[in-house]
């Protein structure tokens, strides 16, 4: 069974436990790294062609505008194929109750029929939001399993929670 970890993550200015902090590696990327260590699945990082603003508030405003416009920002690259890939671990920060819009861009590019999607997100209090339902709508032929919501501020200690989620 082939597995792939596809994720979007944002380093730099991020909201952590009530204040903005500069993160050298985004929380979702840290979680994706733990999943790679445990599963040995390949990693693929989604990167928008037009990077989000470095300033946290400006970035959240951009993200809200994209959500309201149902934008599909271009990404720099895609996996060459998902053929032979049975399980996709899909990681993202929870932005405004769902995934960043560039994750929708990725999901709408491929046919996920017969594949299992295991979503995981990082957040600062909003959990999975409605992202699982959004994935089901974007990928009607996929089996979307219960996601894992990870509190971003606690990501360094999240390996155990990730291991437990992967065993389900």
Beta carbons within 8 Å of 144's beta carbon, 6+ residues apart: 116, 117, 119, 132, 135, 136
Return the sign of the alpha-carbon dihedral for residues 56, 59, 65, 68: negative
pLDDT tens string 108-153: 999 999 999 999 999 999 999 999 999 999 999 999 999 999 999 9
CATH number of the structural domain spanning residue 132? 3.40.50.360
Give the domain range for residue 118.
Answer: 2-167
* Tens digits of residue pLDDT in 45-85: 999 999 999 999 999 999 999 999 999 999 999 999 999 99
pLDDT for residue 168 = 87
Q: The tokens of 161 are what?
A: 């929670």
Say if residue 38's pLDDT is above 90. Answer: yes
Name the domain count of the chain.
1
Confidence bin at 24 (pLDDT 50/70/90): very high
């Amino acid at each position: 069974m082939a597995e792939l970890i596809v994720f979007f993550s944002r380093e730099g200015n991020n909201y952590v436990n009530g204040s903005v902090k500069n993160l050298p590696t985004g929380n979702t990327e840290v979680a994706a790294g733990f999943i790679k260590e445990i599963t040995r699945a390949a990693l693929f990082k989604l990167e928008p062609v037009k990077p989000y603003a470095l300033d946290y508030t400006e970035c959240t405003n951009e993200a809200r505008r994209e959500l309201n416009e149902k934008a599909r920002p271009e990404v720099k690259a895609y996996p060459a194929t998902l053929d032979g890939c049975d399980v996709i671990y899909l990681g993202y920060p929870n932005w405004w109750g769902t995934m960043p819009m560039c994750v929708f861009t990725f999901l709408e590019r491929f046919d996920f029929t017969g594949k299992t999607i295991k979503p995981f997100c990082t957040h600062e209090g909003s959990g999975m939001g409605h992202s699982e339902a959004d994935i089901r709508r974007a990928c009607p032929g996929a089996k979307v399993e219960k996601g894992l919501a990870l509190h971003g501020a606690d990501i360094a200690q999240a390996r155990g929670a990730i291991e437990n989620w992967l065993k389900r």
